[in-house]
Structure 1
C-alpha cells in the first residue's frame, strides 16, 4: 500500500519538516523496515514541495540511518532501532537555549557531586584538586578556561564511579562544552562573576573532600543556578555579539 503524506505548510525549513514527518512514520511503524519509499516525483506531489527539498530530506534520513539507497531500485526503510537523542538547531543561538542546557547540567551534575562525595578515593581528590588548580592557572594566564572547567567537572564525574552517568556526560559533551564556553565568556567580563565562580567551585571541592553528599549536591546545584542567573544578567552587548556567536554552533543536526 502506498503511504499518503500531508502537504507541508510554510514555516521552518521544509526539508527539515519533511525529514521529521518521514521519520515519524518510520518510527511509528507505518513505514516498516524494507518498505520502498515513493519516488522523488511522487513525494514532490504528495508533500507539495520541490525536488530539491525532497533530496535534502532524503539526505537527512540517510544520515539518521533510517533509509538505504539501492542502486537502480530506490530508497528503502531500514530498521530504525532506538531513536537517537537529537536537538533542534533552530533555537541554538538563543539565550534560552543556553539556559536550558545549563538546566540539563544542573540535573546531572548535582547528583554526580553527591555520589562523588560518597565514593571518592584519595586519587580522585588529587585529580579534582589538580584540575581546579589548572583552571586557576589558565585564567591567570589569560585563557578562557573552558577546557580546564570541563576537565574539572569530568574529574568529579569520574569520582562518582557510575559509568552510565559518565557516558551520559560524555555523550552530551558537545552541548555542555558549548554552554560552558558561553557562560565563561560572560563571566570573564565581570570580576564579581569570575570571583563567584571560583568560590562556587571551591565549595563543591570542599564538600566532596569532606564526604558530605548533601552539601556537595547543594553546592553543585547552586553553582548551576548561579550560572543561569549570570547568563540572565548578561549585558545586551555581550549577547548581541559574542554570546550569540558562541551559542550558535552549540547544536548541529
Structure 2
C-alpha cells in the first residue's frame, strides 16, 4: 500500500485560530485580557463574523479563551510564542476534542450494552487486554495498541452488529486517535495508574452486568482523559 502523501488542507476557522494566536503573541496580550471585537477581527482577517465565532468557540473548548456573552472574548491561556510546533499541537488537540465528542456518544452506550450482552469469552478477552494495558503503562509508559483493543472488545461485546461494523469501518481512524492521544501528552505516574483503574472499573461493571455503572465509569474515564485538552 502506498503512503498517502496528500497534504491535509486546513479548515478556514483553523487558519483563523492561528491568526488570533499570532495577534495575541505579537500584541503582547496577557491572560485575562479582552481580545478585539468580532467585527474588528472579521475586518482584519477578511472573513465573516460566523467564522470568527467558530474559531473562538473552538479556542474556548480547548481552554484557550473564555467567552463572556454580552462582553466579549477573554484570554484564558497564552499560546506559546517560542514553540514552533504550537500550531501542530493545537490541530492535534482539536482533532482529539472531536474524537472525544464522538466517543462520549458511542463508547458510553457501548459499555452499557456490553454489560447486558457480554459472554464469558468477552470477559476473558477484556481481562487479558486489561492486563496488557497494565504492563505497557507501567513498563513502556504508553498503551495505545491495547487501549484501542480494549474499546474494540467492548464494541464486540455489545452484540450489536452496527457497533461492530462501524468500529471496523473506521478502525484506522480510531487507532490514529489512540496513538495521537498517547503521543500528545506525557503521562504522569498517577495518571497511568488512573487509566489502569478506570479501565478496571469499566471491566468490572461489564463483568457484573451492571449497566448503570458501566455507563458511569466509561463516562468518568472519557471525561478524565479529555481534561488534558482543557
TM-score range, shorter chain: 0.5 to 0.7
Deviation at 1:194, TM superposition (A): 1.2
Alignment of 1:129-168 (within 5 A): 129-142=127-140, 144-168=142-166
- Where structure 2 has 5 or more consecutive residues not aligned to the other structure, the ranges are 1-8, 12-87
Give the secondary structure class of the aligned counterpart of 2:91: coil
Per the alignment, residue 216 of structure 1 pairs with 214
Superposition TM-score, scaled by structure 1 size: 0.53
Match of 1:123 in 2: 121
> 3-state DSSP class of the match of 2:193?
helix
Larger Rg: 1
Measured in 2, the distance between the counterparts of 1:161 and 1:99 equals 28
Question: What value does the CA root-mean-square deviation take over the aligned residues?
Answer: 2.5
Q: 1:106 to 1:12 in 2, by over 3 A?
A: closer
For 1:93, what is the secondary structure of its paired residue? helix
Of residues 167, 189, 192 in structure 1, which corresponds to 2:190? 192
Question: Unaligned stretches of 5+ in structure 1?
Answer: 1-10, 14-89, 233-253
**TM superposition outliers: structure 1 runs of 4+ over 6 Å:** none
Q: Secondary structure at the match of 2:187?
A: coil
When the two structures are superposed, what TM-score results if normalisation uses the length of structure 2?
A: 0.57
Picking from 213, 226, 229, the partner of 2:227 is 229
Q: Deviations over 1:86-120 (max 9, x none)?
A: xxxx9993412211111111211111100000011
